[in-house]
């Protein structure tokens, strides 16, 4: 019997003696945690803003931080999870504002400004730090 077989036998014995070891809870995957983060922020801000997005999607985009479709689906770049919370919230607010104004008109920016008075600072942060968030 080789060392590997001995280790397997030892572990099998532990599982028989301590069955709770065999049923250890699975750790949530990173993608599940990311989805939970974005969905929580969308729930928070959509409730406050009085809008109802149809679906939340996470993507690995090269040029966009977020988008909103005519059908009410909001999409976010996974890389935003590495941004400061207030910057992530700005992008969420920006995309949810498109559910009110599907453009970048003065009315659209007024909605964003109403919910995120520091939006210009957060936009600047994204421009200046985008390389920190992007995967190589």
Kindly report, residue by residue over 47-84, the tens digit of the pLDDT: 999 999 999 999 988 889 999 999 999 999 999 999 99
The structural domains of the chain, with segments of one domain joined by +, span 30-133
Work out whether strand 73-77 and strand 66-68 pair parallel, antiparallel, or are unpaired.
antiparallel
Q: How far is CA 44 from CA 24, 37, 58, 70, in A?
A: 32, 11, 17, 21
Asked whether the beta carbons of 53 and 46 are under 8 A apart, the reply is yes
Contact criterion met (CB below 8 Å) for 73 and 65: no
CA dihedral (90, 59, 27, 43) positive or negative: positive
Q: Which residue has the higher pLDDT, 128 or 132?
A: 128
Q: pTM here?
A: 0.76
Average pLDDT over residues 83-109: 96
> Look-up: residue for tokens 């590495």?
82
* CATH architecture of the domain with range 30-133: 2-Layer Sandwich (3.30)
4-13, 34-43, 48-57, 125-134: segment of lowest average pLDDT = 4-13
Strands annotated E in 13-60: 55-59
Residue 27 pLDDT level (bands cut at 50, 70, 90): low
């Amino acid at each position: 019997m080789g060392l590997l077989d001995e280790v397997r036998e030892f572990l099998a014995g532990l599982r028989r003696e301590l069955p709770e070891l065999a049923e250890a809870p699975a750790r949530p995957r990173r993608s599940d945690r990311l989805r939970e983060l974005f969905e929580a922020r969308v729930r928070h801000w959509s409730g406050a803003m009085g809008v109802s997005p149809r679906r939340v999607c996470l993507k690995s985009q090269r040029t966009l931080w977020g988008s909103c479709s005519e059908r009410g689906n909001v999409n976010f770049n996974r890389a935003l999870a590495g941004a400061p919370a207030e910057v992530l919230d700005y992008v969420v607010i920006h995309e949810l504002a498109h559910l009110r104004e599907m453009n970048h008109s003065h009315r659209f920016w007024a909605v964003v400004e109403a919910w995120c008075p520091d939006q210009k600072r957060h936009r600047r942060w994204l421009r200046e730090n985008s390389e920190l968030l992007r995967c190589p």
